[in-house]
Chains A and B, each alone.
Chain A
């Protein structure tokens, strides 16, 4: 028996449901893994302008997690189109370009400029600060999430993946707003706002004082948000938060995700994404599951004769 690992994210077919999380993937990883084995490639977030990024230190480790305040350093749109994009042309794996802008119009015009051959989808990092709303992230409120998503929808024919922030009170409402405004998929979620203090110096551990928490420690929180969003919308949800192993990925798929992004885990095991892909195939083989997409949303919450999947006979 062979397992069909492919999934569909709207009109886009992925060979498998595993891809990098934006900000944790770059050309250097090609020294360690074959990019053509991944479900998709996702760039670091690109802005129209040059951005230097935040002051150092930019990362501090925590138990089973880390906090980063990298600050979206970007070489700008032209550098991306002229220098970076051609590097990905040889790969058959779909390239998803992550973009960010400080305004609705900025998002729209950047999405339009990114709508070029070689780009399979746009991931809108709407977890970034909106300067038109006092620096609050677009995805913190349904209204601003809808406004920016609607503008993106008009600006490009490419699939739009809206990357939501976990730092909001009602993520399901934001998910519905993004869907209604025309998003093709949701990425749930981004890092969780966090902070650490250095007791030797009495100073914040990060140059930017606050940052975003990621890694295995955040998985239960984001898993819950994926579940809430997947129940709230009909478009595919891509889980992103603390996925390190195939078992983590299965949890996200069962909770309603159609695919997963692997981020911080690649810092610990550079081939973490391949381990997740191989592990997913093994999981399905052992459970006699023919298609990985059969796992999507297969969480059993109703009372039944067979309370969990562990009662399934292993494949012969």
Chain B
């Protein structure tokens, strides 16, 4: 019998379990799986790229199965087209807004804010864009949970959106507390509602988005047994409210964090943040160890 060494090529720490695919054992040649990429840069085709609110645009891309297999909370590095007069050099990290398996699609929600997103704005249906992903560690849903609470603001509204369907598919009820400056900017509300979530919108315009009011809402949900876990993104002050409540009521939580990135795959240590782990400060890479982290350990 012919034997050869199968290398534990991907047996590295960090990242998600899907990258582990062989152990460093001697096995029969027939059983050897070739090296396989679990993230790739690929040329995706624009299906649509339209404004969906006064400040946001939704980009729908046709892609391959590696990309459409992205899980909630993961992100892509987009090689943005060059808008007139500007040359964005690095890729732009963007969390997924939605995925679809048949046909393979990924969607992003973005706000035009810089050279990269100004480039994205130029894309028309049929154009192509180089996308690299899926990257990072996404959200995890515990099948034991019955009801979760999702709290988001700003870009966090897009990052948290894929949780709505993922939770619904597992029979987990969702209450989404969505925060924005004005009611028309609560961009993910429709998506959450379509997946059966209860949506509570809070806005600056209505003076309902302050931490005191959000805390009142969250305490109400906790007392109604509607909060087995917190999921949050996009607001440091809402993070602190949830960290307090999570500690008080022993509720687990996950937070998706943002940070400026260069490589997106753990090479450059550009996107580090500090975390409070058992009273000590630990530095982690948002792109590789996250972007989703334990809520209790996150620091503003």
Contact = CB atoms under 8 A, between A and B. Distances in A.
Contact of B13 (A27, A35, A36, A61): A27
Contacts of A57: 260, 270
Contacts of A59: 90, 260, 262, 268, 270
A23 B268 contact: yes
A268 B270 contact: no
B244 interface: no
Interface string B128-166: 000010000000000000000000000000000000000
Contact of B268 (A61, A68, A271): A68
B12 A266 contact: no
Contacts of A23: 267-268
B263 A267 contact: yes
A90 B24 contact: yes
A270 interface: yes
Contacts of A32: 37, 39-41, 265
A298 interface: no
A35 B35 CA distance: 10
B79 A268 contact: yes
Contacts of A63: 87, 89
B12 A87 contact: yes
Size category, A interface: 35 or more
Interface stretch (B3-11, B167-175, B209-217): B3-11
Contact of A90 (B9, B90, B260): B9
Q: Looking at chain A's contact residues, is the secondary structure mostly helix, strand, loop, or mixed?
A: loop
Given A31-B38, A34-B35, A68-B262, A215 B89 contact: yes
A30 B266 contact: no
Given A31-B39, A32-B39, A24 B263 contact: yes
B222 interface: no
Given A53-B269, A57-B260, A30 B89 contact: no
B89 A64 contact: yes
B15 interface: yes
A25 B90 contact: no
A66 to B, nearest CB: 6
B272 interface: yes
A64 B266 contact: no
A90 B9 CA distance: 6
A26 interface: yes
Interface centre among A23, A32, A70 (most CB of B within 10 A): A32
Contacts of A52: 283
B47 interface: no
Contacts of A91: 7, 9
Interface in A241-283: 266-271
A70 B87 contact: no
B283 A31 contact: no
Contacts of B267: 23-26, 28-29, 266-267
A49 to B, nearest CB: 15
Nearest to B24: A90
A258 B71 CA distance: 43
A24 B266 CA distance: 9
B88 interface: yes
B221 interface: no
Given A61-B90, A268-B79, 20 more contacts: A24-B263, A28-B15, A28-B265, A32-B265, A34-B9, A34-B35, A35-B9, A56-B272, A59-B90, A59-B268, A66-B90, A70-B268, A73-B272, A83-B13, A90-B9, A267-B267, A270-B41, A270-B132, A270-B263, A271-B41
13 contacts: A25-B267, A27-B14, A36-B7, A36-B9, A52-B283, A53-B272, A63-B87, A68-B268, A70-B268, A91-B9, A267-B268, A268-B89, A270-B263
